[in-house]
Structure 1
Amino acid sequence: MARSPNTEARRAEITQALLTVIARHGYEKATIQSIASQAGLAPGLIHYHFKNKQEILLSLIDMLAEVARSRFARICDAAAAPGQRLDAYLEARLGMGEGAAPDAVAAWVMISAEAVRQEEVRAVYSQVIAQELGMVTELVAAALGEQQRDSRGAPTIAAGVLALMEGAFGLSSATTGVMPAGYAAKAAKDYAQLSISAAPPARRDSRKRKS
């Protein structure tokens, strides 16, 4: 049976409250009481909508993935060429402009740590990362095609982009004022462009070679 709109709205409030709490205090200190206090709800209502704290965390993973996709969709509206769409993606994920969400980044870093410890969290986190890798691979492959480069290296370049992103998220949460402002998006764009430019030319169709 589908949940009512009121139930979905309440679950979203609770999930958002967990995001705020773990971004500021970490997952271990995020108690049902602290989540309820942040949401302005009674602890009993938290238990009514979620079995436990882990279930809220799993909901948060889905929410953050959807927020990231929505920001990319907004930024890439004006990007027509494949290379522009790849840049728009990196700006959406790493840029500090409109829509940037430091608390969401901090929460994502906490989630990645819990994915190491909790099998259930790892399964959902891995699924989101796999989807993200697939999206980046498609963007990179299109950018390679635009420059008439061999697209077979797209998965490796995409994996490098994703690793750079996740590392940047960790540094932004673990350090204050150490890394240069706005470095992450620029570094990721430079890495992607250099990798694409260094890729070998696209192979010609064998039938064309024979002719």
Structure 2
Amino acid sequence: MPRPSNTEERRQQIVLGLLRVMSERGYERASVNEIAKAAGLSPGLVHYHFSDKQEILLVLVEQLAARARERVARRVARIAPEDARGKVEAFLDAFLATGADADPSAVAGWVTISAEAIRQPEVRDAYEQVVRADLEHLEGLVASVVGKRRARALSVGLFAAVQGYFVLSASAPGLVPSGSAAHTVKQMAAGLLDTATAKEGA
């Protein structure tokens, strides 16, 4: 396997530098100097590899989305093909469960990105693409349980709960009991799926 180029390594250092600063102080306070310091590089190298701070942020959106999708794919792949409910739970676990592969700085970074999506059209476009793809994935899993007609509304509600937990855990971490997010949202999902399935059968 070829070794990443020096340029790729430097760009990755810079993106992770932005994530570190942003998860602690927000995007507004993530100056190029602060990003460079967190990356262990000079500000000149940051300017050399990226045209501006927003370009770094857009790369970070792509990388966080890819990491989350890998986590989802790993967890869903462990579930038997015929266990449609198990796949919904695995999806929710991938986003909310704590454990060795949990990444609080990524959650904090994602919350900051969602706030920037309100202010910056380019970030909004990137954010919406990620959310749309993740929501479509969840909708497909939910549809396997309750059918297509009810899947969209249920999926949006569950995904909103996931995003709400992200905001709470990043903004007021003391409010969320450790390990409760995945358990609670999976209970919500079970109740919603049971109700929808009962209505389909009625």
Query: Equivalent residue for 2:60?
Result: 60
Where 1:9 maps in the other structure, the secondary structure is helix
Task: Give the TM-score taking structure 1 as reference length.
Answer: 0.88
Match of 1:201 in 2: 200
Of 116, 119, 122 in structure 2, the residue corresponding to residue 120 of structure 1 is: 122
Output the CA distance in 2 between the equivalents of 1:185 and 1:14: 31
- Gaps in structure 1 of 5+ consecutive residues: 145-149, 204-211
What is the 5 A alignment of 1:107-186?
107-144=109-146, 150-186=147-183
Measured in 1, the distance between the counterparts of 2:169 and 2:132 equals 23
Structure 2 residue runs of 5 or longer lacking an equivalent are: none
Deviation, structure 1 residue 202: 5.8
- CA-based RMSD of the aligned residues comes to 1.5
The whole-number CA distance in structure 2 between the counterparts of 1:113 and 1:19 is: 14
- Residue in structure 2 matched with residue 69 of structure 1 by the alignment: 69
Q: Which structure would you say has the larger Rg? A: 1
Structure 1 window deviating more from structure 2 (135-144 vs 70-79): it is 70-79
Moved over 3 A (4+): none
Amino acid at match of 1:194: G
CA deviations 1:159-195 (Å, max 9, x no partner) are: 0011001110000011132222222111211111111
* Contact 1:13 1:39 (8 Å CA) reproduced: yes
Indicate the larger mover: 191-200 or 55-64: 191-200
Q: Shift in Å at residue 49 of structure 1?
A: 1.1
Partner Cα distance (2:62, 2:144) in 1: 27
TM-score normalised to structure 2 length: 0.92
The structure-2 alpha-carbon separation of the partners of 1:98 and 1:76, relative to structure 1 and needing over 3 Å to count, comes to farther
**Is 2:26 the partner of 1:26?**
yes
Distance 1:152 1:44, change over 3 A: same
Q: Do the aligned partners of 1:151 and 1:202 also contact (CA within 8 Å) in 2?
A: no
| Distance of 2:145 and 2:49 partners within structure 1 | 44
Q: Structure 2 counterpart of 1:191, which letter? A: M
- The amino acid across from 2:200 in the alignment is P
Equivalent residue letter for 1:76: V
Structure 2 counterpart SS, 1:201? helix
CA distance in 2, matches of 1:77, 1:151: 22
Q: CA deviation at 1:45?
A: 1.0
**Distance in 1 between residues matched to 2:112 and 2:40, nearest whole Å:** 23
Any idea what the Cα deviations from partners look like across 1:29-49, whole Å, max 9, x if unmatched?
A: 101011111111111111111
- Alignment of 1:40 onto 2:37: no
Q: Secondary structure at the match of 2:28?
A: coil
**Which residue pairs with 2:99 in the alignment?**
97
Q: For residues 51 and 67 of structure 2, what CA distance do their matches in structure 1 show? A: 24
**Count of residue correspondences:** 195
Q: Percent identity?
A: 44
